[in-house]
Amino acid sequence: MSDIAMLVAEEYERRVSILRKAGVDGVGVSQERIDEGASVLAQRLMKHKREVLQWAWEPKSQVGVAASASFFSA
């Protein structure tokens, strides 16, 4: 969870610095718009993380089932 928060914060800072360098600091882009973009990014990251976890928890082959069983039994 913390790594996702770090990614969101880094992406937010990157986008803000790009906007500042472009001179758009207060012209045409509001803080609410930037915050909205960051929240959309966070939602997409959470969705992707859930999909990856879902994929990892549901092995599709016999080898995957065996590997999962041996990993979680230890």
pLDDT, position 2: 73
Residue with tokens 């990157």: 14
Structure tokens at 49: 């993380």
Q: pLDDT truncated to tens, each residue of the chain (74 aa)?
A: 677 888 888 888 888 888 777 765 555 566 777 777 788 888 888 888 888 777 767 777 788 778 777 777 75
- Residue ranges of domains in the chain: 2-73
Residue with tokens 């770090």: 6
pLDDT, position 27: 55
pLDDT, position 29: 61
